[in-house]
Amino acid sequence: MAKRRNRAAAANAAALRMKLGDVRREPPSAEGFEPVVQETDRGPIAMRYYPAAGATAAAAAAVFVGGAGGGFDTPVCGWLYPRLCEQLCAGGIAGLRVRYRNANELDECVLDVLAGISFLEGEGIGAFAVVGHSFGGAVVIRGAAVSPAVRTCVALSTQTHGAGPAAELGPRCSLLLAHGLSDEILPPACSQVVYEMAREPKKLLLKEGVRHDLDEWADELPGVIREWIIAELTT
pLDDT tens for each residue of 201-230: 999 999 999 999 999 999 999 999 999 999
Q: What was the pLDDT predicted at 97? A: 98
Q: Which of 53, 58, 63 is nearest to 119 (CA)?
A: 63
Q: Pairing state of beta strands 45-50 and 34-40? A: antiparallel
- How far apart, in whole angstroms, are the C-alpha atoms of residue 231 and residue 134? 24
Q: What is the mean pLDDT of residues 141-146?
A: 97
pLDDT tens for each residue of 14-39: 567 899 999 999 999 999 999 999 99
pLDDT tens for each residue of 174-190: 999 999 999 999 999 99
Burial 149-163 (b: 16+ CB within 10 A, else e): bbbbbbbbbbbbebb
Beta carbons within 10 angstroms of residue 61's beta carbon: 31
Q: 106-122 and 135-146 helices cross at what angle (nearest 10)?
A: 50
pLDDT tens for each residue of 34-55: 999 999 999 999 999 999 976 5
- How far apart, in whole angstroms, are the C-alpha atoms of residue 165 and residue 28? 36
C-alpha dihedral sign at 229, 231, 232, 234: positive
Q: What was the pLDDT predicted at 5? A: 40
Burial class of residue 14 (count of CB atoms within 10 Å of its CB; 0-12, 13-18, 19+): middle
Q: What was the pLDDT predicted at 172? A: 98
Q: What was the pLDDT predicted at 17? A: 84
> Mean pLDDT for the chain?
93
195 in Cβ contact with 202 (< 8 Å):
yes
C-alpha dihedral sign at 163, 125, 67, 235: positive
For the chain, list the domains and their CATH numbers.
2-19+47-234 (3.40.50.1820)
Q: What was the pLDDT predicted at 1? A: 38
Burial class of residue 200 (count of CB atoms within 10 Å of its CB; 0-12, 13-18, 19+): exposed
- How far apart, in whole angstroms, are the C-alpha atoms of residue 127 and residue 124? 10
For the chain, percent of residues with pLDDT exceeding 90? 89
- How far apart, in whole angstroms, are the C-alpha atoms of residue 119 and residue 113? 10
Q: Pairing state of beta strands 93-98 and 45-50? A: antiparallel
- How far apart, in whole angstroms, are the C-alpha atoms of residue 61 and residue 83? 14
Residue 64's DSSP bridge partners are: 97, 131
pLDDT tens for each residue of 87-137: 999 999 999 999 999 999 999 999 999 999 999 999 999 999 999 999 999
